[in-house]
Chains A and B, each alone.
Chain A
Amino acid sequence: AQKITQTQPGMFVQEKEAVTLDCTYDTSDQSYGLFWYKQPSSGEMIFLIYQGSYDEQNATEGRYSLNFQKARKSANLVISASQLGDSAMYFCAMREGDRDDKIIFGKGTRLHILP
Chain B
Amino acid sequence: DGGITQSPKYLFRKEGQNVTLSCEQNLNHDAMYWYRQDPGQGLRLIYYSQIVNDFQKGDIAEGYSVSREKKESFPLTVTSAQKNPTAFYLCASSHSGSGTGELFFGEGSRLTVL
Contact = CB atoms under 8 A, between A and B. Distances in A.
A101 interface: yes
A95 B105 contact: no
B48 A105 contact: no
Contacts of B59: 104
Contacts of B43: 91, 93, 105
B101 A33 contact: yes
Interface residues of A, number: 23
B102 A9 contact: no
B42 interface: yes
Interface string B72-114: 0000000000000000101010101000111111011000000
Given A101-B50, A101-B96, A101-B101, A45 B90 contact: yes
Nearest to B92: A45
Interface of B: 30-31, 33, 35, 40-45, 48, 50, 56, 58-59, 88, 90, 92, 94, 96, 100-105, 107-108
Interface of A: 6, 9, 33, 35, 37, 43-45, 47, 50, 52, 91, 93, 95, 100-108
12 contacts: A35-B100, A35-B103, A37-B103, A44-B108, A45-B103, A91-B43, A93-B43, A101-B31, A103-B33, A103-B103, A105-B35, A105-B45
